[in-house]
Structure 1
Amino acid sequence: MGDYIIAIDQSTSATKAMLFNDRCEMLQRVNVEHHQYYPKAGWVEHDAEEIYANVIAAVKQLMKDADMEASYSMAITNQRETVVVWDKTTGHPVCNAVVWQCMRGVDICNELKAQGYGPMVMEKSGLLIDPYFSASGVKWILDNVEGAREKADRGELLMGTMDSWLIWKLTGGKRHVTDYTNASRTMLMNIHTLQWDDDLLRLFGIPRSMMPELLPCDGVFGDTVVEGLFQQPVAIAGVLGDSHGALAGQMCFEAGLGKATYGTGSSVMVNIGEKAAPAPDGLVTSIGFAALGKVFYAFEGNIHSTGATLKWLQEQLKMIDSPADVEPEALSVADNGGVYFVPAFAGLGAPWWNDKVRAAVMGMTLATTRAHFLRAALESIAYQVNDLVKAMTVKAGIDLKEIRVDGGPTKNRFLMQFQADCLRVPVNCSDVEEASALGAVVMNGLSRGVWKSFDEVARLRRSRWTVCSQDNEAWMEKNIEGWHKAVRQLINSPE
């Protein structure tokens, strides 16, 4: 028998439960999807109770044939910014969770920006005022859900990102906690003091009584019997947001190492060391991870729609049966035929940060084929990641030797080659597709003393393959120029 870690990866589209050993090897995985709700244009919601039920179902399925006499602990990584507000007496959310993609907070954010609060919020939280982050979603709930404001003022409501909600439920309401990384994405935490900030709480009208306790990523967050699955409680140790999990899972423990996670959206993050620094225009500064008594900061940019674009092609347009179908289509034509797909379904994220723009396909002619359309959609993922990396490296003077990548779309060799050609640096793909979960496992192991240093953990990293750029720089620059022209045309078009 050995020690095993149950890693929960609660993502935007599904909940995954994975079983890891202390050698960072994934032994088994269970995936349970949850519903997406779109009550109004630009709004996105999740049913938090459905997600918790899926967590329990996934863990029970994962453990169906497991040795229950072995030693287990649990680690959690989660979709960030998505926020739940719930009644601490009944345990029920007051409404559906406001998802990070949701635009309902845009008027709140625009008003605060117009009033000149942007610099103050950036200085304290490291973030731009944007509905992408949690604070405006909480304020909207308190202002618009009947009775919520009054209950909050009486200390009857709690708020939290998905990790906080799950831990509260898993511990039977005993622990209302979150980690530094998730907290740093709410727009309510001071990333310098590592505390909830009173000025930011007042700005969004959120009572301090709603806020969870803050812990480093390698903390012990509570224990759980997983609704009676275990006879003895297992510790919940190791918690961090999914993009931060990927940074740790990719073993980016040194300043200057960076990663790109391809999921529903995408996050590009670069470790900048133990001192926070102002981010380049259009990017943000977050806590990268906190462990072994140290706090590492990161520059980050987020893209709203990458994997979501392929899912949209599959589910809404019915153009493909699965995302894997796009690659052979893309390879069937020599280029995109001048077609550019700008997937601004929920506005443009970093480095553009324009919430008014909507998705469009530019440059189609009578010669455009289905293959050109699908190739343009796939290329849009690489273009957006390229924009973020260039913003970090060129503007911030960071010289990346390679970009470490993870997530489902990394299986697409065309996309990875196109990405390397855009960036002109090697793209190094982890052999663990679920790097976010691996990062949570790393934090779990550090918490339990399995590894005593970052160097010890880093030696465990395994690479699946590395893709280098081809000798096509002039051709790629022309493609990138066409992409930028399409984006600018869309941003500058009359409303």
Structure 2
Amino acid sequence: MEKFILAIDQGTTGTTALLIDRQLRVRGRATVDFPQHFPRPGWVEHDPEEIWFSVQQAVRRALQNGHIKPGALAGIGITNQRETTLLWERSSGRPVANAIVWQCRRSAEICEELKNRGLEERFRQKTGLLLDPYFSGTKLTWLLRDGPELHRRALAGELAFGTIDTFLVWRLTGGANHVTDVSNASRTLMMNLEDLSWDEELVELLEVPGALLPEIVPSSSPYGQTRGLEFLPDGIVVSGMAGDQQAALFGQACFNAGEAKCTYGTGAFLLENTGEEIVRSQNGLLTTVAWQLGGRTSYALEGSAFIAGAAVQWLRDGLGVIPAASDIEALASSVPDSGGIIFVPALTGLGAPHWRSEARGTISGITRGTTAAHLARATLEGIALQICDLAGAMGEDRGQPMVLLKVDGGAAHNNLLMQLQADLSGLTVVRPSMVETTALGAAMLAGLGCGFWTDVAALSAAWSEERRFLPQMAPEERGELLDAWHRAVLKA
């Protein structure tokens, strides 16, 4: 019987299940959305049971769509929205509160409190992260402070903490395994980058009882087997896990130091593999674990642009410039340049390397000759220019410039955006044959963990590119545009 790997990509707005064969081809696919909950301005929650229902439905439909029997599954890989935080009862597996989503800002005061105590550099040195509500640790602090009874139960060992990967493994294995992989643990503000263990000092500073925490495990390893599920038979090994951006880096076959990928979604995430070296950024980037595989740990530098595809959505929904997001390429291609327009898409502040939450979007250079096409092209340039800043910061941190960038995500289908990215950054941009690299990375890790593939060389041989975009812009023109961009960013 032909065997497959099931990849569960549990994202912010929905869950995708993919069935991957040995040649890295998708043989079944399904996506199931679930609701977002906004109890107050700036607060974002998910109902964990709604997430679990979406996982079950996505897996069922992917198997049906691929005409594949559950018994043909050799292993399961999980990738997930990374910092989303939840608590559940160990005895029943029931959540005790809604999950606090990575986008939620409710723990901002806790972050400020820790900064005012002079602790930010200690957290940064130990974890590679900033003290920001984005990360899991302060969300967990908030949950325990807000519910004194939860804190009591946590101390008594009655509750379990996890990010989404941990919760899914718990549910898939019938509560037998309470684990998180190193890539997800590295996003909690509680894991020490040096020894890959929960840091006792940081855990104490965040007021987290140690009994809550899962075991930290490699990204590719047999964690447990399915048990007691209605939608899958018992005994399928769960053998791969990584946070979404790290999974995309692995799915892009960026196995070696210096290899990088950018995922273009609502925002954009650029990660560069730094190998076994922990590179501590001097340029506003995050240091994170990429994965642990075969006893070796790979690290990465990460930079995020808060707004990428969301800028195109704003043109569509806020301004009515285009009827559909896919129409931007044709409109922007109808003019040879942006006519001097510079759009800084800081619609929710600026992320790395600037970290200016107070920044707001600006559009400069408007004249009577400005058209909707110029604005559309400037929007694509603004997305690409943010990535140029991140790539430049990574080059400075590593002491050597980036030369090639692999791309994925929905906006990577936009040929003009990819050409602009190559032109403005001076990088060769490579688009893979399979752009759903987040789920692919989870499948690849799981397949290595259960013996479906023998080594990364087998994966490299199966990975393929669809198109390359080479820089075509003259260096002088590129320099002028970058200078104009940096002047505009200062005014945002």
TM-score (norm 2): 0.93
Find 1:278's aligned residue among 277, 280, 287.
280
Report the counterpart of residue 415 of structure 2 in structure 1: 413
Deviation at 1:68, TM superposition (A): 4.1
Q: Given residue 84 of structure 2, which amino acid in structure 1 is its aligned partner?
A: T
The 5 A counterparts of 1:274-313 are: 274-313=276-315
Paired residue for 1:493? none
2:43 and 2:310 mapped to 1: Cα distance? 15
Indicate the residue corresponding to 2:154 in structure 1.
152
Tell me the secondary structure at the aligned position of residue 287 of structure 1: strand
2:207 maps to which residue?
205
Alignment of 1:435-474 (within 5 A): 435-474=437-476
Cα gap change, 1:117 to 1:292, in 2 (>3 Å): same
CA contact (8 A) 1:101 1:346 kept: no
Q: Which moved more, 1:25-34 or 1:42-51?
A: 42-51
Deviation, structure 1 residue 287: 0.9
**Aligned counterpart for 2:399 among listed residues 397, 400, 418:** 397
The RMSD of aligned alpha carbons is: 2.2
* Structure 2 CA distance for partners of 1:141 and 1:402, relative to 1, 3 Å: same
- The separation in 2 between residues aligned to 1:486 and 1:79, in whole angstroms, is 32
**Structure-2 change in CA distance of 1:46 and 1:346 (3 Å):** farther
Question: What is residue 178 of structure 1 aligned with on the other side?
Answer: 180
Contact 1:42–1:346 (Cα < 8 Å) also in 2: no
Q: Does 1:168 align with 2:163?
A: no
SS at match of 1:63: helix
Q: Does the CA-based 8 Å contact 1:5-1:19 persist in structure 2?
A: yes
**Is contact 2:183–2:289 with CA below 8 Å preserved after alignment?**
yes
Shift of 1:471: 3.0
- Percent identity of the aligned residues? 40
Report the CA distance between 1:362 and its aligned residue. Answer: 4.4
CA distance, structure 2, for counterparts of residue 72 and residue 165 of structure 1: 21
> Paired residue for 1:374?
376
Residue in structure 1 matched with residue 434 of structure 2 by the alignment: 432
What is the aligned partner in structure 2 of residue 49 from structure 1? 49
AA at the equivalent of 2:285? L
Q: Hey, what's the Cα distance between the residues in 1 that align with 2:270 and 2:235?
A: 36
Q: Deviations over 1:371-395 (max 9, x none)?
A: 3333333322211111111001134
Q: Kindly indicate whether the alpha-carbon contact (under 8 Å) linking 1:102 and 1:346 is maintained by their aligned counterparts in 2.
A: no
Distance 1:359-1:175 versus aligned 2 partners, 3 A rule: farther
Give the C-alpha shift of residue 176 in structure 1: 1.5
Match of 2:5 in 1: 5
Shift of 1:472: 3.0
1:25 corresponding residue in structure 2: 25
Report SS of the residue matched to 2:122. Answer: helix
Matches within 5 A, 1:46-85: 46-64=46-64, 65-85=67-87
Secondary structure of 1:336's partner? coil
Kindly tell me the number of residue pairs found equivalent between the two proteins: 490
CA contact (8 A) 1:350 1:388 kept: yes
Contact 1:103–1:346 under 8 Å retained in 2: no
| Residues 308 and 43 (structure 1), Cα distance of their counterparts in 2 relative to 1, 3 Å cut | farther
SS at match of 1:386: helix
Which deviates more from structure 2 when the two are superposed, residues 116-125 or residues 178-187? 116-125
Q: 1:52 to 1:209 in 2, by over 3 A?
A: same
Equivalent residues of 2:38, 2:45 under 8 A apart: yes
Provide the residue aligned with 1:15 in structure 2. Answer: 15
Give the AA of the match of 1:224: T
Deviations 1:178-201 (A, max 9, x none): 100011111110111111111111
CA-CA distance at 1:404 after TM superposition: 1.0
Range that drifts further, 167-176 or 88-97:
88-97
1:130 aligns with 2:132: yes
Quick check: 1:12–1:264 contact (8 Å CA) kept in 2?
no
Report which stretch shifted further, 268-277 or 463-472.
268-277
Deviations 1:278-303, CA, capped at 9 Å, x for gaps = 22320121111111111111111122
Distance in 2 (alpha carbons) for counterparts of 1:210 and 1:346: 33
Taking the aligned partners of 1:316 and 1:176, their CA distance within structure 2 comes to 44
Q: After alignment, is 89-98 or 183-192 more displaced?
A: 89-98
Residue 150 (structure 1) shift: 3.2
Unaligned runs of 5+ in 1: 491-495
Name the counterpart of 2:230.
Answer: 228
Q: In the alignment, what sits opposite 2:264? A: 262
> Is 1:38 equivalent to 2:38 in the alignment?
yes
Distance 1:149 1:133 in 2: 20
